[in-house]
Chain A
């Protein structure tokens, strides 16, 4: 049955491999260029030296040079969904076209057919997600050293979450397809469901996994005392919100535009801010140290729902009368 199952899933597996190959074709050359630039500019030495002005310039020029490419890769967050949905096709197609009647009337039980077919789909999805994670993690390494990997654009490709996303998309397509028995609509609906779930988690749910940390520090030296410094490791953290505030962290609505218009240049802006008592900065963030905790929570969330959905598809198909 394993041979049969792989043979039936051959097209989907080839397409999946092609998608990964395409990612590699895009990422490997740019990745090499980026790694070389990182070494040549001496950025790692810069980070160790902890930020002289010259260094800031080097880092800024590096990030601005590769910003566009990095932004483009954020679209790859759809890939686990695409792969997961695609790998459900073989299973749903059998129910739609009626070939399950051929398979179920050979000498193997329906249960064995279901477990083997689902098993090969899960295996392919996991391998593809792993390949993609390794590829993008390698590619992003210079950025991670500069900015950390807690922000959405990086976090989604690192660690274990991509496997969870791929399984979730697979499970959703299987569950919808098992009931509906129409391949194309089921796959489309599952993909839309995947995108909706990802948007919900990325923009709202994830920041509530663990309550974020707040900090306020004095930005500008003045009558109230010397300037403070932002919390350590903030440059690697996921910053949810940051704004000028008073000493207690209350938001102050600084009309920056008005400040600029009033004074035009930098020193003027400072005094303008001081006038408005906005000498403090307030930040709400998830620290980089929570990376694996968040990854664990999110992978279990998507993986857990995937297990339920795949189990449902199996049960529904098995108990079909």
Chain B
């Protein structure tokens, strides 16, 4: 495996009209990782993935896939990237067999065996029209098309959003099998972290068009702590650690922090937090910032 990262974004931004769909996005996806791209609807997940596969062009900064520009160097990037868009578009009038033929015609690195085996495993007759398949089956056909291309990077935009729980599980199972077999780098987006937690080892949180957090899930779990103690100001803790979210009752304060080293103050009771809590804390972060901003504004006025 080369040292070039699968995907690098530097100050990446995308503007539609006057509003930014993605802003100041800097991140690096190591090869071989399986990354969950999490954020609420409209956070910029689709925009980021479309930029990575060259469907759109950056308005600011840049993105590199295996060290190359997806749009300008499409010829060398496209064969290495598999992409399944959110609504997994397929030609509805094609039969499954014709869909595979399309994949074969349009991809030099096409592996017919992978494709045929997957379709057989799914139990789908190759003469059937794609438009007549269920949503889950269509998603699987779209995934098959992306996988038989033998990409090194697989981008899946909200792959399970439109699927029922069973199809969801089957789809993710398929992805996990491929990852285990090939060591492919995968980025999956979702607005629900619980969907992806079992599958992923990296996490990127997007919210309000910006990257809020990015890193390996193990590191994130290790560095985030929930501190609970008698009611107090968070300032002392904030001098050393990053306070992501704080809540206070009359007697008690609880802080979710990203710890920069050990938390020494023994007045705090420390607890581990699970991934979902971390995600929710980062997604809700903005309201905290707004609350913090007010006293500063008053200070300036007085």
Contact = CB atoms under 8 A, between A and B. Distances in A.
B106 A101 contact: no
Interface residues of B, number: 31
A75 interface: no
A101 B55 contact: yes
A156 B300 CA distance: 79
Interface stretch (B74-82, B119-127, B166-174, B246-254): B74-82
B78 A105 contact: yes
Interface stretch (A53-61, A63-71, A107-115, A303-311): A107-115
Contacts of B103: 106
B57 interface: yes
Nearest to A97: B89
A102 B74 contact: no
Given A105-B53, A105-B78, A107-B78, A1 B105 contact: yes
A99 interface: yes
A82 B87 CA distance: 33
Interface in B209-236: none
A102 B105 CA distance: 13
B273 interface: no
Contact of A99 (B74, B90, B98): B90
B208 interface: no
B102 A107 contact: no
A106 B91 contact: no
Nearest to B155: A105
A7 interface: yes
A8 B87 contact: no
B79 A107 contact: yes
A7 B83 CA distance: 22
B89 A107 contact: no
A321 interface: yes
B75 A109 contact: yes
Contacts of A233: none
B109 interface: yes
Nearest to A320: B56
Given A98-B89, A99-B89, A99-B91, A107 B149 contact: yes
A3 interface: yes
Given A3-B101, A321-B56, A106 B90 contact: no
Contacts of A321: 56-57
Contact of B109 (A98, A99, A107): A107
B94 A105 contact: no
A4 interface: yes
A7 B103 CA distance: 13
A5 B91 CA distance: 12
A99 B87 CA distance: 10
Q: In the complex, which of the residues B56, B85, B89, B90 has the most CB atoms of chain A within 10 Å of its own CB atom?
A: B89
A104 interface: yes
B94 A106 contact: no
B98 A7 contact: yes
A105 B83 contact: yes
Contact of B106 (A8, A97, A106, A110): A106
A102 B55 CA distance: 10
B149 A106 contact: yes
A108 B108 CA distance: 9
A107 B108 contact: yes
B87 A98 contact: yes
A4 B78 contact: no
Given A105-B78, A105-B85, 11 more contacts: A7-B98, A11-B93, A101-B55, A101-B85, A102-B85, A102-B89, A102-B91, A103-B106, A104-B54, A106-B106, A108-B78
